[in-house]
Amino acid sequence: MNQVLLLPDGCLCTTRGPAMHDVLACLGHQVLLAAGPALDRVNKKGETPAHTAVRGGSLKMSALFLDKKPTVAEGELSFVALAAGSGSVEVLQWLLKNGYKDVETAGDKVSGLFAAAKAGNWSAFQLLLAGRAEALKAVDAQGATIAHYAAAGGSEKILNALLKAGIPFAVADSTKATPLHVAVKAKKEGAVAWLLKNGADPAAVDDAGKKPADYADEALKPLLP
């Protein structure tokens, strides 16, 4: 049986199909929802409304749906990682306060710490790093390290924190891509300059036989030999 969402402007919306996810994408609406099976409805991405709310960064929406205790598992990307990756520190703080835990990066699981690094989210990174120095040494299913994720995010604050923690940057993933390859592909000029300044090898070749410069756009080419 469908649930009905009542929006403040007087509109009614059925929860049939992906409609609830569509409503969550409309910023500024507060949703009044009775508990029901619609809470566990999964869209084409395999996400429940709770996932969509957390990814969207709305604390009110996230608290509303997560308070209803959805029964569908969090999936490969946890609610904590979704919040850290979306840049919503407010939602992240709520999750941690209400018992949601970060996972450790391993295999297909990606931690909130890694997600924050990839998003360049310094505030979330700091929050999730506290007391977890060992988590910085994890490697994902593709052999990428926290250095690769930070290079993609481009936050020099995070890069500096990793350097201070002794994290190596002369590393390659399973495709032989280095953090410098990643930063160039992500078009993160600041990260490219930072990596070169801190000893990254511009001559490193990935398994496609390409150096970082081979992926550079016109803005980055002057930085790379």
The string of pLDDT tens digits covering residues 179-206 is 999 999 999 999 999 999 999 999 999 9
Can you give the residue ranges of every domain in the chain?
1-73
How far is residue 180's CA from residue 29's CA, in Å, rounded to a whole number? 42
Q: What pLDDT shows up at residue 85?
A: 93
Cβ atoms of 128 and 162 closer than 8 Å: no
Question: What is the pLDDT, as a whole number, of residue 35?
Answer: 41
DSSP state of 81: H
pTM, entire model: 0.81
DSSP H helix total and E strand total for the chain: 11, 2
Which regions in the chain score pLDDT beneath 70? 1-46, 68-76
| Predicted local distance difference test score (pLDDT) of residue 28 | 40
Tracing tokens 């481009």 back to the chain, one arrives at 154
How many angstroms separate the CA atoms of 83 and 112, rounded?
Answer: 8
Q: Which strand (E) or helix (H) includes residue 12?
A: strand 12-14
